[in-house]
Structure formats: C-alpha cells, structure tokens
Amino acid sequence: MVPIPHAIRQVDRWARELSRTRYAVLLGASAAIGVLLVGFLLQEFLLLRALTMGVVMFGLEYTFEAFQTTEG
C-alpha cells in the first residue's frame, strides 16, 4: 500500500512535468468537475457555471501560467 504523502508527491511531480497546454486542460477540467460535484451535493444543476469555471481556469493558466510552477 502506498502512503498518502508519497502518492501526493508522485501526482504533483507528474502534474509539474506536463506541458503548458495539458496542465491548463487538467486545471480547467478539475475546476469544472469540482463545481459539478458541489452542485450535485447542493442538489442544483450547475452545468453552465461548471463549464464557465473550466474555461476561465483553462484560459488563465494557459495565458499567464499562474498556477504551474517549476519550483519544488
């Protein structure tokens, strides 16, 4: 069994090695899925908000590289 901190470090290392476009897609998709999950928990259908959040996060990351760092 893999300890949680080790698994988190592996996923973090994998994400940092992604290209700029792939990282932006990953960030946008995870934001959209997060909004959808919260909407389902609140018993609301937030598809438009989820898509908007995903597109905005993708655009910000792809344009400014605000969240992906090479430090670590």
- Give yes or no for a contact between 46 and 35, defined as CB atoms under 8 angstroms apart: yes
Mean pLDDT value across the chain:
89
The range of the structural domain enclosing residue 31 comes to 14-64
Count structural domains, the chain. Answer: 1
Tell whether 9 is covered by a domain.
Answer: no
3-state secondary structure the chain: CCCHHHHHHHHHHHHHCCCHHHHHHHHHHHHHHHHHHHHHHCCCCCHHHHHHHHHHHHHHHHHHCCCCCCCC
- The answer to whether 27 and 67 are in contact (CB under 8 A) is yes
Is 27 domain-assigned? yes
Q: Is residue 2 part of a domain?
A: no
Owner of token pair 């910000």: 60
**Model confidence at 68: pLDDT above 80:** no
Structural domain includes residue 33: yes
pLDDT value at residue 35 = 96
Q: What is the pTM for the complete model shown? A: 0.80
